[in-house]
Structure 1
Amino acid sequence: MEESSVTYNYPRPQLVRDEWVNLNGEWSFAFDDDNRGLSQKWQKQFPEALKINVPFAYQTKLSGIHDPSFHDIVWYSRTITIPQEWQGKQIILHFGAVDYRAWIYVNGELVTFHEGGNTPFKAIISEAVQEGTNEIVVRVEDPSEDQTIPRGKQYWHEQSESIFYTRTTGIWQTVWMEAVEPIHVQKLRWTPNVDKGDIQMELELSGIDHEPEVTVDISYKGKRIIQDTLKVYETYTKRSFNIRNRFVDRSNIHNDGWYWTPENPNLFDVVLTVKTNRTVDRVSSYFGMRKVSVQNGEFRLNNKRYYQKLILDQGYFPEGLLTAPDSKALKRDIELAKEMGFNGARKHQKVEDPRYLYWADRLGFLVWGEMANAGEYSEEAAERLTKEWIDVVNRDYNHPCIVTWMPLNESWGISRVAHEIQQQHHSLAMYYVTKSLDQTRPVLSNDGWEHTLSDFCGIHNYQSAEEIEKAYATVDSAIQSKPANRQIYADGFSYRGEPILITEYGGIAYTVDESGWGYSSVQSSEELVEQYEAVTAAIGQSPILQGYCYTQLTDVEQEINGLLTYDRKPKCDLKKIKEINDRFS
């Protein structure tokens, strides 16, 4: 499957404009260990500096700096020239993600501040820029040892160990600009209703002067199936379009041939054109017609029971850490997982680049969207996690590949949730706030153990095949089990009939080149396949389990329990892994 040059790099694949400027590449860069930059006004007079390759964090090889030590305050600078054709338009500066706090200056003027290392933000810089050369300066604070910020697997010590890895500080996703007219598309949300055959569009415009019209063109496999023009009288508009009755290939209507599934990732392409007395905006998007639900204790995809065979994917890369070297690398990770017979992934403790979700949509790959958690609980930590999680759900709502939301994992940041009411309330709050934003997907409030209220019972168990077979023979034995000596439900909560899945298992360490760490270990690629077969068969043959998630896709730094090495080389015959996975459905 090929991709256009726009799509290949475009950082917001669900709302695409043709005209934009990518600001990745060489920036000036400075450490500010003594916090002198503000008093010395670096935003106006940037010091002699290093060079860094944005969007790679200074800790990475691809940044050109490769310094893993603590530097909690860093600065960036680069000059830009505004395209002549953008004069008179609203110019928006976008950041895909900056870890953790960011102050953005243009020509010495503060244009925005953002807190949160996992989500995008923007600044309207039209009033701050001038003809000719302009300077963007970014100041970043990333408290290396603060465990109350959502940091995921980033370690709070300088040297990574066990399941924790090198930190990511500063800009780690694409920086880019676009220019829009005063009236333009601000937000676009797609909600499929498979039962009715409808797609619901929610559209928010920046204004409604001149009573704009919006033309909606929906096509399937290159053939237009819907064109409709809406007269817009309010900035927010909701409209449903019936896909089933206008479907181009009517022979497929009754066999679900146009639904989105991992086996058949059918997508509908959309172009929206906004006009007043002329065209003022044109954006492209897409959606998939698919439904995920939990009914009668079963996980269902498009109303049919569906067995999830997931791989734990932490999304780290040897030369870029959290930042993939390019879009091809994101695509390749999905292709490798599918090559092994997995139909989806848990993006573990990482809010993934939207381009990964684009490829999951296109290639057909389920994704469990997970938040990067804090390490310790406090009221401030709860506030930080909640605010950023809301942005995550809103950013990724449109992607059909996402079938489950997971705001909390293994009681990270809520270590006393089993018994403490306050932390149980936080777990419940994350469940309900997610439901308030998205009524279409299941939610796990705290995956692994010590559940409060969840739509799945997700259990993490790294025991042997024999122990797993015994633990999951019945629902009662599963609920009474205590993997890692943790109870499955927090005090006051109990099993309500939700689907039970093993959402982490395996973790079999096998090293090709160097020593490392894993949950268990083998000495050869043949033994790796044998152990994978044994433990996966114990899960797949259980009469009560509805899916699994194997740890993990690749090695990460010192953790060597991947089916692939850190640089994505197979450790065993991937066809044999696929043969094992294909037995279960």
Structure 2
Amino acid sequence: MTRPTIVPMDLPDTAFPYPRPQLVRAGWASLDGWWEFAFDDQDRGLDEGWYDGRPLARRIRVPFPYQSGTSGVGTREVHEIMWYSRSFEVPAGWTFGELLLHFGAVDYAAEVWVNGRMAGRNRGGHVPFYFNIAPYLRPGPNRVTVRVEDRQDPYQPRGKQSASGKPVRIYYWCTSGIWQSVWLEPVPAVRIDHLRILSAQPDGMLAVQANLHAPFGAWEAELDVFDGIESDHLIARTRAGTHAAHIVLSTRIASPQPWTPSNPHLYRLRVRLYHQGTLLDSVESYTGLRKIELRDGYFHLNGERIFLLMVLDQGYWPDTLLAAPSDAALRADIGWIKRFGFNGVRKHQKIECERWLYWCDRMGLMVWEEMPNARGWSTKAEERLLIEWLRAILRDLNHPSIIAWVPLVENLGFPELTMHPEQHSYLEQMVGRTRMLDATRPVIDNDGWHHTDLTDVCTIHDYTYPVDKLLARYTDTLRTGRPPDKGWSRDTSLFLDGARYRGQPIVLSEVGGYLMEASEVAPERRDRLYDAYGVVRSDGELAERYRVLMEGLATLPFLAGVCYTQLADIEHERNGLLTALREPKIDPDAVLALHRRLWPTA
């Protein structure tokens, strides 16, 4: 197989600002940059004590996977065990009760040592974790070592990463090891551990729950609300006390400005923790006032009906793969989505880093958040999937941009969903537990087809072409309001046996996907992929095909939303509105004008 072209990017050691925008403290230090590195293909490192602080032979730039040229390693060969190590010093002037070592995401299983002592373990490649490393520190330089396992395991949540290690059809190169920022945070021993926005209503009602790291007798918390994410204009303040490990702070914002895609107004929040008048901790966050509802078969935002005009985004870059090249690259992708005139995005098979959600909040983009699924079914796969999904929800539920949760797509990891009652039951458990954590947003149980009775939205993946053939599939729906019994792929049932359509909003959550003809794509990879989608041979043909598709979809009044596949090309899958290098194939201004003409409520 031809070796892929890997183009390293010229980046500073630290390309990302504060990694956790929903819970900000003043003090922090990035550990991104050059680390020592080694592969451990014979799995000798534990027995030989590589965690003892010894130097490792290679160098890697964190937070980029070893498969990336930007990492300084740049091999696409499969290595399932890897080690990282670096020295650091605690910044002068820091005072703290505990020192937290944060990892944004490490794929897949990590063990962490500080100065040769075990600090902790984590399993789950898409969610953050941290350890208090204060007990392991010593004066002067300290040493952190990380061992990572990323097996080619179909039973671990892997999203679109190929289980073979090589791209095939709709699966891509893997992203192994540390792929999001690593950072230090000095914190008081008694502190605010988590904020949860319980209510942020368009009428100005705001309720914030502050959770203490540990019970602390009698304590007080104060909430300040500022009129703008960068504003110092204080518009509300409330204070309360408790003896419990959490407290709810409620207030009403006068003259509220609801959050919408066209006016994504955000309010800066500050929560301070006191004990007997002494300030113990202070954190900052933000929120947007918005309410998402499903009524009469459509979505309503802040009481107004809105059409969801989305694009599918997989968050891959040509060199850095699942890891974003920089914070600017995350913001630029959202800028392209807005420029094309979309008001929403379906982040596909990826839990994106929080900085991306921050920019969605700030720039005004509605998000469907989706769990990366496994490929196989087992008891172990069940446990891995559910635990990581619930952790992702807990990380992200304060973001106003998120308007839907999607635990499963196209039966991925549920190969016998139609025949196996246990898999059907487990899917319903995932939906139920999602709602237990967050009852304010709709849940799409299994995006695309094979829905249960629990889905809040009836989503359909339909790549039928040409457009007149696609529209003919919905002739009866125009008359009855009910979706077809069968889906587009392999005559798949839209609902599982025993379940039925109950009037939910109908969304074509994958449509289009027109592939650009490319002679350099190997025939054995091209035939199967290109047979499933329409093919275009020029940018002009793509623009015309897109226009005809969208004009056709606009004639289906029962639709509550559509999602076009996709934003950018990925490897051999060249069906983006942008190239993999983020160059537009069709005029974004023309697409924007088309969207505004067809769907003025989007």
Common fold by TM > 0.5 = yes
Contact 2:350-2:370 at 8 Å conserved across structures: yes
Aligned match for 2:241, one of 226, 231, 239 = 231
| 2:527 is the alignment partner of 1:527 | no
Q: Say yes or no: does 1:385 pair with 2:390.
A: no
Which amino acid is the alignment partner of residue 71 of structure 1?
A: H
Q: Could you tell me whether the CA contact under 8 Å between 2:216 and 2:243 is conserved in 1?
A: no
Deviation per CA, 1:482-520: give whole Å up to 9, x if none: 311211001111101100000001111126895465522
Q: Which of 588, 598, 601 does residue 574 from structure 1 map onto?
A: 588
Distance of 1:224 and 1:306 partners within structure 2? 32
Give, in angstroms, the shift of residue 18 of structure 1: 1.5
Query: Which structure 2 residues correspond to residues 285-434 of structure 1 after superposition, within 5 A?
Result: 285-434=285-434
Q: Are 1:204 and 2:206 an aligned pair?
A: no
5+ residue gaps in structure 1? Answer: 1-5, 248-252
Secondary structure, counterpart of 1:356 in structure 2: helix
2:516 aligned residue (489, 510, 520) = 510
The C-alpha deviation readout for 1:310-361, integer Å capped at 9, x for no partner, is: 0000000112101111111000001101111111111000000100000000
Distance in 1 (CA, whole Å) between partners of 2:137 and 2:284 is 28
User: 1:310/1:88 Cα in 2 relative to 1: closer, same or farther (>3 Å)?
Assistant: closer
* Equivalent residue, structure 2, for 1:242: 252
Q: SS in structure 2 opposite 1:103? A: strand
Deviations 1:448-486, CA, capped at 9 Å, x for gaps: 000012000010000121122112234356332331121
Q: Find the aligned partners of 1:62 and 1:513 in 2 and give their Cα distance.
A: 28
Counterpart contact for 1:148–1:377, Cα < 8 Å: yes
Paired letter, 1:469: L
Deviation at 1:184, TM superposition (A): 1.1
Q: How many Å separate the matches in 2 of 1:512 and 1:268?
A: 47
Cα deviation digits, residues 170-221 of structure 1 (max 9, x gap): 1000000111111111010113352663111111112454733322110113
Q: Is the 8 A contact 1:364 1:401 kept in 2?
A: yes
Distance 2:209 2:101 in 1: 24
The question of whether the paired residues in 2 share the 8 Å contact of 1:512 and 1:571 is answered with: no
The answer for the alignment partner of 2:44 in structure 1 is 36
Which of 39, 61, 66 in structure 2 is aligned with 1:58?
66
1:261 is aligned to 260
Q: Provide the rounded CA distance (Å) in 2 between the counterparts of 1:207 and 1:192.
A: 24
Distance 2:280 2:93 in 1: 14
Secondary structure of 2:207's aligned partner: strand
- Deviation digits for residues 106-150 of structure 1, max 9, x if unmatched? 011111110000000010011011111110000011112x10100
**Is the aligned partner of 1:105 residue 2:119?**
no
Asked if 2 retains the 8 angstrom alpha-carbon contact of 1:269 and 1:286, the reply is: yes
CA contact (8 A) 1:506 1:532 kept: yes
Query: How many angstroms apart in 2 are the aligned matches of 1:41 and 1:469?
Result: 63
Q: Give distance in 2, aligned partners of 1:306 and 1:342.
A: 12
**1:70 partner amino acid:** V
C-alpha distance in 2, partners of 1:371/1:502?
19
1:119 pairs with one of 123, 127, 135: 127
Matches within 5 A, 1:486-565: 486-510=492-516, 515=521, 518=530, 519-565=533-579
Q: Is the 8 A contact 2:101 2:184 kept in 1?
A: yes
Q: 1:210 to 1:489 in 2, by over 3 A?
A: closer
Q: State which of 89, 100, 122 in structure 1 corresponds to 2:97.
A: 89
What residue ranges of structure 2 are gaps of 5+ in the alignment? 1-13
TM-score (norm 1): 0.94
CA separation of 1:104 and 1:8: change in aligned 2, threshold 3 A: closer
Quote the residue 1:472 is aligned against.
474
- Separation in 2 of the partners of 1:195 and 1:524? 45
In the alignment, is residue 213 of structure 1 matched against residue 198 of structure 2? no
Code of the residue aligned with 1:307 in structure 2: it is F
Tell me if the contact between 1:192 and 1:291 (Cα under 8 Å) persists in the aligned partners.
no
2-structure distance, mates of 1:474, 1:306 = 24
CA distance in 2 between counterparts of 1:8 and 1:285 reads 18
SS in structure 2 of the partner of residue 164 of structure 1: coil
Is it true that 1:175 corresponds to 2:143 in the alignment? no
SS in 1 for 2:380: helix
Relative to structure 1, the CA distance from residue 134 to residue 152 in structure 2 (aligned partners, 3 Å threshold; closer, same or farther) is: same
- Once residues 325 and 108 of structure 2 are traced to their aligned partners in structure 1, the CA distance between those partners, rounded to angstroms, is 21
Cα separation, 2, equivalents of 1:540 and 1:107: 62
What is the one-letter code of the residue matched to 2:496? A
CA distance in 2, matches of 1:287, 1:300: 19
Inter-CA distance 524–271: structure 2 relative to 1 (3 Å threshold): same
Distance 1:435 1:196 in 2: 24
Q: Is the 8 A contact 1:471 1:478 kept in 2?
A: no
- Cα gap change, 1:56/1:188 in structure 2, threshold over 3 Å: closer, same or farther? same
Cα distance change on mapping 1:150 and 1:421 into 2, 3 Å: same
Give a deviation string over 1:200-255, Cα, whole Å, max 9, x none: 11111124547333221101133211012222322211132112xx33xxxxx6xx
Matched to 1:524, the amino acid is: S
The code of the aligned residue for 1:467 comes to: K
Q: Is the CA contact (8 Å cut-off) linking 1:468 and 1:535 kept in structure 2?
A: no
Q: Structure 1 residue 521: deviation in Å?
A: 1.1
SS at match of 2:135: coil
> 1:133 maps to which residue?
141
Pair 1:70-2:78 in alignment: yes
Query: 1:296 deviation in Å?
Result: 2.7
- Report the AA paired with residue 447 of structure 2: D
Looking at structure 1, the residues matched to 545 and 96 of structure 2 have their Cα atoms a distance apart, in angstroms, of 64
- Provide TM-score, normalisation by structure 2: 0.91
Q: What does residue 3 of structure 1 align with?
A: none
SS across alignment from 2:127:
coil
Q: Which amino acid aligns with 2:512?
A: G
- Measured in 2, the distance between the counterparts of 1:193 and 1:497 equals 28
> Are the structure 2 counterparts of residues 54 and 356 from structure 1 closer, same or farther at C-alpha, using a change threshold of 3 Å?
same
Q: What residue identity is the alignment partner of 1:327? A: D
CA contact (8 A) 2:317 2:580 kept: yes
Q: Distance in 2 between matches of 1:511 and 1:80?
A: 50
The amino acid across from 2:85 in the alignment is S
Alignment-derived partner of residue 455 in structure 2 = 454
Deviation of 1:89 after TM superposition, in Å, equals: 2.3
Which shifted more, 429-438 or 508-517? 508-517
- Conservation of the 8 A alpha-carbon contact between 2:16 and 2:181: no
Aligned to 1:250: none
Distance, in Å, in 2 between the alignment partners of 1:208 and 1:469 is 60
SS across alignment from 2:48: coil
Q: Which moved more, 1:436-445 or 1:157-166?
A: 157-166
| Paired letter, 1:181 | P
SS in 2 for 1:14: coil
Could you tell me which amino acid in structure 1 is paired with residue 407 of structure 2? P
